[in-house]
């Protein structure tokens, strides 16, 4: 992404990463040292694509804090500070808010009884698709809608099936089409869906232009997207996938203001 000046918020994994919450997967051994190496490579991929890295202060008591996406949703020049559905994760938002404030973003906070994880929010153009999941409730969706409507955005709720977050099931390519595991969410919501066979294949982060970040666990999808003219940047995040993480979870991208 030549000449990009956007910000990428990231958060370094903590030593207790292996204690992160697992909901829909069987717990397996997480190699924290390897996760640190993988996270550094993930950050390099963002920097090489032109994004300016901003480190969010660690939250040592919160092993899932590396999944910074869940703590804030950036819409335009506003940072919506979430209220995570897992109570143990709520302290993560303090550092996220401080980082957003330092970056000059306007702050909007969700309040009880709302719960909302940023991983449930997929932004495509002026539309925010929001997963109604085990972590995001109806009040969270209502408060998000109230926050973003004045910014010219609309909110479309999506019911999920046995998956942690909306973006665990579907993300969008730069052309506005959707990569998805359709069985994980209600039908008829997304206009143009490209079903994938690999779970990691439905997780991409648009980096600018035709470049997309995709996990090494989805080689067939990466090859297929390259054949369609996209530019896959492949990163190994296997240790984070053991904790139900994906490429979207590990950063919050703030495009340059126009």
The DSSP bridge pattern shows strands 178-180 and 170-172 to be antiparallel
**Residues 101-122: tens digit of each pLDDT:** 999 999 999 999 999 999 999 9
Residue pointed to by tokens 């053991």 = 242
Q: How many CB atoms lie within 10 A of CB 180?
A: 20
- Using the predicted structure, report yes or no on whether residue 2 has a pLDDT greater than 50: no
Q: How many CB atoms lie within 10 A of CB 257?
A: 9
Per cent of the chain over pLDDT 90 is 94
- Mean pLDDT, the chain, rounded, equals 96
Structure tokens at 193: 């869906």
233: Cβ contacts below 8 Å, ≥ 6 apart: 45, 48, 49, 207, 211, 212, 213, 214
**Residues 9-27: tens digit of each pLDDT:** 999 999 999 999 988 778 8
Among 62, 202, 246, 249, the active-site one is 249
> 55, 60, 57, 59: which is closest to 43 by C-alpha?
55
- Using the predicted structure, report yes or no on whether residue 96 has a pLDDT greater than 50: yes
**Residues 34-84: tens digit of each pLDDT:** 999 999 999 999 999 999 999 999 999 999 999 999 999 999 999 999 999
Note if 249 is an active site residue.
Answer: yes
Among 39, 43, 62, 165, the active-site one is 165
Residue 104 has a pLDDT of 97
Q: pLDDT band at residue 258, thresholds of 50, 70 and 90?
A: low
Residue pointed to by tokens 């294949």 = 201
Note if 202 is an active site residue.
Answer: no
Q: pLDDT band at residue 1, thresholds of 50, 70 and 90?
A: very low
**Residues 165-174: tens digit of each pLDDT:** 999 999 999 9
Distance of CA 160 to the CA centre of its chain: 16
> 197, 249, 220, 199: which is closest to 38 by C-alpha?
249
**Residues 141-151: tens digit of each pLDDT:** 999 999 999 99
Residue 25 has a pLDDT of 75
């Amino acid at each position: 992404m030549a000449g990009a000046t956007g910000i990428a918020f990231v958060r370094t994994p903590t030593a207790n990463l292996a204690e992160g919450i697992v909901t829909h997967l069987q717990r397996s051994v997480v190699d924290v040292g390897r996760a640190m190496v993988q996270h550094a490579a993930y950050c390099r991929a963002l920097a090489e694509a032109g994004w300016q890295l901003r480190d969010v202060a660690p939250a040592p008591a919160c092993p899932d804090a590396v999944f910074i996406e869940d703590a804030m949703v950036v819409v335009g020049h506003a940072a919506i500070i979430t209220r995570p559905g897992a109570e143990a994760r709520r302290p993560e938002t303090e550092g996220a808010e401080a980082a957003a404030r330092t970056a000059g973003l306007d702050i909007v906070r969700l309040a009880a009884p709302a719960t909302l994880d940023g991983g449930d929010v997929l932004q495509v153009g002026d539309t925010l698709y929001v997963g109604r999941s085990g972590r995001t409730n109806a009040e969270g969706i209502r408060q998000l809608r109230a926050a973003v409507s004045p910014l010219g955005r609309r909110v479309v709720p999506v019911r999920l099936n046995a998956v942690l977050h909306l973006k665990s099931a579907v993300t969008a390519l730069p052309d506005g089409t959707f990569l998805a595991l359709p069985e994980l969410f209600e039908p008829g919501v997304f206009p143009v869906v490209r079903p994938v066979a690999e779970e990691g294949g439905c997780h991409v982060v648009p980096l600018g232009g035709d470049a997309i970040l995709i996990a090494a666990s989805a080689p067939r999808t990466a090859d297929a997207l390259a054949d369609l003219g996209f530019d896959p940047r492949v990163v190994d995040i296997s240790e984070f996938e053991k904790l139900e993480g994906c490429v979207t979870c590990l950063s919050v991208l703030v495009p340059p203001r126009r």
